[in-house]
Amino acid sequence: MSKESRPLVLKVDTERPEIDKIRIAADVIRKGGLVAFPTETVYGLGADALNSEAVASIFRAKNRPADNPIIVHVADREEVYKLTKDIPVMAEELMDFFWPGPLTLVLKKSEIVPYVTTGSLETVALRMPDHRVPLALIAESGVPIAAPSANPAGKPSPTNARHVVEDLGSKVDIILDGGPTRVGVESTVLDLTASKPKILRPGGITAEELVDVLGAIDVAGMKIETEVALSPGMKHKHYAPSSDMIVVEGEDFDVLTRKVQELADEHRLEGKRVGIMATSESPRYDADIVKVAGSRADLRTVARNLFEILRGFDEAKVDMIIAEGVETKGIGLAIMDRLERAAGYRILRV
Ligand code: TXA
Ligand code: MG
């Protein structure tokens, strides 16, 4: 399939996806092509998960290291039993409770899942997205769809179709445009293959929500240094804008915001163009660009805007991004994980 021209961008109704458009995209999937589509979290870059060649082309398009496995998306619980073996009872409970939704479960893979998809692992990550477009696309394709976030490896994930066109436009066959995504950060990845469930990546379903259903869990997501081997994707650089970035963290919001302004002043004195990622509770900052991500009182708003804001700073060509940290409670854990990675762990605690 020729991918050198501009991709076909099809606007889809997220409430009632037009079947003719879904069929065009499903046809591309069945023929081994690449379709970018919205989910509730971020846009995905999808291919037939059982077709090694097609999945290999995802890795090429993203320039993704071959040892970083890809999440397989399903539209039907029955698919789970074909793609996995030895499913623990806990997985059934979690699927009952959180699917469709931003929770990815790592389970033992069955023979039919190719090693290209799992980055040579014996496990497979599965999720059922809470979005009618991918659910219709998977159903119409008749195959599970492997889909990482539709960004080049290392860059912030796309939360609207324009991001995908800019990043991977020449490398995909079709982009289904369902507007901006609702959650804004990726799914929570939960490993159920060890003796104790373990969060490999914090995301749209919070640790607290999982604890309510499961009891105790390990949260490895924030300790990348010591947990490298466990989630193949976590050792790679992630979500990074082109500019330098620093995250300011601290309990006392007044102290924190004073530090943010102080840092901005210092860098501007050095002649740098400075962008600040603020919240609606912040004081009026003095910088080259100030972007308000959302409200500390409802961190879901910050999650939704996070990647768009990081990209916006790149477009505005700032030299330095200074971001306010947030509480690591609820969705705040996923936000801080993404911010810290985006900053390459350049963190200032006050
Ligand atoms: O919300 C999401 O999860 C989005 C949408 C498109 O569904 N997808 C996404 O995929 O974020 P990706 O490839 O960008 O991130 C998948 C993460 C990576 O950190 C990867 O290493 C981990 O899941 N992963 C995938 N399969 C795994 C496995 N078998 N064992 C451990 N980690 C796995
Ligand atoms: Mg990704």
Q: Nearest residue CA, atom 22 of ligand 1?
A: 233
The response to whether residue 104 sits with its C-beta less than 6 Å from ligand 1 reads: yes
Sign, CA dihedral 172-176-182-188, equals negative
Q: Which fold has domain 3-219?
A: DHBP synthase (3.90.870)
> CB neighbours of 267 closer than 8 A, spacing ≥ 6?
274, 319, 320, 322
Q: Which long-range contacts (CB under 8 A, 24 or more apart) does 85-90 make?
A: 85/109, 85/110, 88/192, 90/192, 90/197, 90/214
Q: Nearest residue CA, atom 21 of ligand 1?
A: 233
Q: What angle do CA 151, 332, 290 make, to 5 degrees?
A: 70
Pick the ligand that lies closest to the CA of residue 155.
2
Task: Locate 303 and state its tokens.
Answer: 């999650």
Task: Specify the pLDDT at position 221.
Answer: 47
Task: Give the residue extent of every domain in the chain.
Answer: 3-219, 244-349
Give per-residue pLDDT as tens, 29-68.
Answer: 999 999 999 999 999 999 999 999 999 999 999 999 999 9
Pocket test for ligand 1, best of 43, 185, 186 (most atoms within 8 A of CB): 186
Give per-residue pLDDT as tens, 240-293.
Answer: 888 999 999 999 999 999 999 999 999 999 999 999 999 999 999 999 999 999
Pick the ligand that lies closest to the CA of residue 147.
1
Is pLDDT of 223 > 90? no
Give per-residue pLDDT as tens, 55-66.
Answer: 999 999 999 999
Listed residue (53, 14, 15, 16) closest to 32, CA to CA? 53
Rounded-to-integer distance, Cα 13 and Cα 178, Å: 7
The DSSP letter of residue 63 is T
Rounded-to-integer distance, Cα 269 and Cα 224, Å: 34
Q: What's the CATH superfamily of 244-349?
A: Threonylcarbamoyl-AMP synthase, C-terminal domain (3.40.50.11030)
Pocket test for ligand 1, best of 41, 64, 85, 104 (most atoms within 8 A of CB): 104
User: How far separated are the first and last CA of the chain, in Å rounded?
Assistant: 53
The response to whether residue 192 sits with its C-beta less than 6 Å from ligand 1 reads: no
Is pLDDT of 231 > 60? no
The response to whether residue 71 sits with its C-beta less than 6 Å from ligand 1 reads: yes
Q: What is the CA(287)–ligand 2 centre distance, in A?
A: 30
Task: Specify the pLDDT at position 242.
Answer: 86
Q: What is the CA(70)–ligand 1 centre distance, in A?
A: 5
> CB neighbours of 235 closer than 8 A, spacing ≥ 6?
224, 228, 229
Same fold, 3-219 and 244-349: no
Point out the ligand 1 atom lying closest to the alpha carbon of residue 189: 23
Point out the ligand 1 atom lying closest to the alpha carbon of residue 43: 6
% of the chain residues with pLDDT over 70: 92
Q: Nearest residue CA, atom 20 of ligand 1?
A: 233
Q: What is the CA(212)–ligand 1 centre distance, in A?
A: 23
Residue with tokens 């690449």: 34
Task: Specify the pLDDT at position 234.
Answer: 61
Per-residue pLDDT band at 195 (split at 50, 70, 90): confident
pTM of the full structure: 0.94
Give the full edge-to-edge strand order of the sheet including 320-324.
Answer: 289-292, 274-278, 320-324, 244-249, 347-349
Q: Nearest residue CA, atom 19 of ligand 1?
A: 233
The DSSP letter of residue 224 is T
Rounded-to-integer distance, Cα 234 and Cα 189, Å: 11
Rounded-to-integer distance, Cα 288 and Cα 320, Å: 10
Q: What is the CA(149)–ligand 2 centre distance, in A?
A: 4
The response to whether residue 232 sits with its C-beta less than 6 Å from ligand 1 reads: yes
Residue with tokens 């660009």: 289
The response to whether residue 70 sits with its C-beta less than 6 Å from ligand 1 reads: yes
Is pLDDT of 300 > 70? yes
Pick the ligand that lies closest to the CA of residue 121.
1
Q: Partners of 324 in the beta sheet? A: 248
Task: Specify the pLDDT at position 226.
Answer: 29
The response to whether residue 310 sits with its C-beta less than 6 Å from ligand 1 reads: no
Pocket test for ligand 1, best of 181, 189, 304 (most atoms within 8 A of CB): 189
The response to whether residue 231 sits with its C-beta less than 6 Å from ligand 1 reads: yes
Q: What is the CA(223)–ligand 2 centre distance, in A?
A: 18
